[in-house]
Amino acid sequence: MAKIIKLDDKGVEFLEKIMELSGEIITLCDQCGTCSGGCPFITEMDVNPSQIMRQVMLGQKNIMDSKTMWICASCFTCTVRCPRDLDVSKVSEALRQVKLREAIDFIDIEEISDEEAKKLPSIAIVGAFRKFTG
């Protein structure tokens, strides 16, 4: 008997975002493993392509810490072989986009005191914000 998994709101939001960006209906993946079996870079990946699809399906954002999405060469071997006509490389690209859009700020304007702001050259402040904020 199949186990029913219910996603929380954040999991659903993550799944929908990746489906929107990739244009793929990830929930159609039946986990056959054909994408992983044909991938020429599988030996370099920490998570195989079918596991990527599964983790995204389950709304598991920890997949964003995987190096697999960066290793995918978008060679489309997975696409050609997928019996569901899904494109895992597009999903990897969507994951990369989400990761790059996180825009982590390394400095906060609120933490600069008025005294420091008066002493620092304006160009230094502008340059720092361009380099160290998302």
Per-residue pLDDT tens for 18-60?
A: 999 999 999 999 999 999 998 999 999 999 999 999 999 999 9
Q: What is the pTM of this model?
A: 0.73
Residue 80: what pLDDT?
94
Residue 29: what pLDDT?
96
Long-range contacts formed by 33-42: CB under 8 A, 24+ apart: 34/78, 34/81, 34/82, 34/83, 35/77, 35/78, 35/81, 35/82, 35/86, 35/88, 37/81, 38/77, 38/78, 38/80, 38/81, 39/77, 39/78, 40/73, 40/75, 40/77, 41/71, 41/72, 41/73
Longest dimension (CA), the chain: 68
User: Which residues in the chain are classed under CATH 1.10.1060.10?
Assistant: 9-101
Q: Which CATH superfamily is domain 9-101 in?
A: Alpha-helical ferredoxin (1.10.1060.10)
